[in-house]
Amino acid sequence: MDYIKTTEHRSLQRFAALCPLQDKIYFKGSFMKITRDTAAIVTGGASGLGEGTARRLAAEGAKVAIFDLNAERGESVAKDLGGVFCQVNVADVASVEAGFAKARAAHGQERIMVNCAGIGWAEKTARRSSAGDIFRHQLDKFALVISINLIGSFNCAAISAEGMLSNDPDAGGERGIIVNTASVAAQDGQIGQVAYAASKGGIYGMTLPMARDLAREGVRVNTILPGFFETPIYQQMPPEVKINLASHLQFPQRFGTPEEYADLVSFMVTNGYINAECVRLDAGARMPPK
């Protein structure tokens, strides 16, 4: 046993001698520190998961810019956080570019980009009405969901990544992180969710190639797949509907909170070793067809 321990120790010493970055990465680990100089952008930051994330990042010291269409609510949240509000339609390229320009003028180049903006839509690929008439999915509605959820997330991520490449790397070689929001519907799309599931599946699918694209530049990319959360959409549902939805959860059998979502965002930001990951945050839910 002593011989084995001695051999293992010598092997580790030889490995260490071959790793010039050992003090920074291999043995001490790497993590992004959030300080008063850290700029962050959160889309959909005026409510729900985005607001929870914006508040968490601000509480940890970041300078937060909120992208949202709801100017009244967005201005109020930004004021609470000491941040800046940018009225942005993520489906409009000019609006997004103007938002980045305003955010960077106020806080400098961001190191944290979190995409939470999105919409839902329920419609079958084709269906029969109660009268027997046959209809197909409205193509303009399908395109709208893809435009906001998928293309909007990609465009914000790409613009942010372009800017992050100008950041000086930190002690771990990192220049920034992008966190996208998909959904459990990316894997468990239900009846009537073809547009929504397609948009979220696209976000899920672009995580690994985007992380690979940016790896050499020290920019990480992760995606969260949330289940049922206490957001404005679900808060408007009748109690009996929420109870039925919660029955699909394993434990705990309740909706998640924006604060719990923000906890995972914070972990992804500060743990430098989590990259190219898609993480379900859903209390063990596996959604049935309907």
Specify the residue for token string 């938002």. 99
* Residues 150, 193 contacting (CB under 8 angstroms): no
Distance CA 3, CA 8 (A): 9
Residue 190, φ and ψ in degrees, nearest 5: -95, 170
The strand pairing partners of 180, in sequence order, are 115, 223
Using CA atoms, how far apart are residues 257 and 267, in angstroms rounded to an integer? 16
d(CA 49, CA 23) in angstroms, rounded, equals 36
Q: How far apart are CA 31 and CA 211, in angstroms?
A: 17
Tokens coding 256:
């998640």
To 10 degrees, what angle do helices 93-107 and 152-164 make? 40
Cis bond upstream, residue 209 (ω within 30): no
Distance CA 111, CA 247 (A): 39
Q: Determine whether 196 is an active site residue.
A: yes
Catalytic-role residue among 3, 196, 234, 273: 196
State how beta strands 126-128 and 134-136 pair.
antiparallel
Nearest alpha-carbon partner for 160 in 69, 42, 17, 270:
42
Catalytic residue numbers read: 196
